[in-house]
Amino acid sequence: MNVKNRKNSDKKQSMFNSPNLSKMQEVVIDARTRIYIELDADPIAARDRYLARLKAR
């Protein structure tokens, strides 16, 4: 494979920006599980939604 053909087949890496966790609040689900939600969101509702998704599996 020559260099010209290899350039066309290479895909550009997509950029992924992680959220800033200092601007979010931590919700403890259990001893090993934590989720992060927006500061103005309800932590009890977020915890209930998370647990409901686990039960649905």
Residue 34 lies in a domain: yes
**CB of 30 closer than 8 Å to CB of 45:** no
Domains held by the chain: number: 1
The predicted structure's pLDDT at residue 2 = 57
Residue 7 lies in a domain: no
The conformation of residue 27, written as its DSSP 8-state character, comes to E
The predicted structure's pLDDT at residue 5 = 55
Backbone phi, then psi, for 7, in 5-degree steps? Answer: -60, -40
Residue 33 lies in a domain: yes
1-57: pLDDT as tens digits: 555 555 556 777 788 899 999 999 999 999 999 999 999 999 999 999 999 999 998
Residue 52 lies in a domain: yes
CA–CA gap between residue 36 and residue 34 (Å, rounded): 7
The predicted structure's pLDDT at residue 40 = 95
The predicted structure's pLDDT at residue 12 = 76
Task: Tell me which residue of 32, 22, 27 sits closest to 45, measured CA to CA.
Answer: 27
pTM for the full predicted model? 0.67
Residue 27 lies in a domain: yes
Query: In terms of residue numbers, what domain contains 26?
Result: 22-57
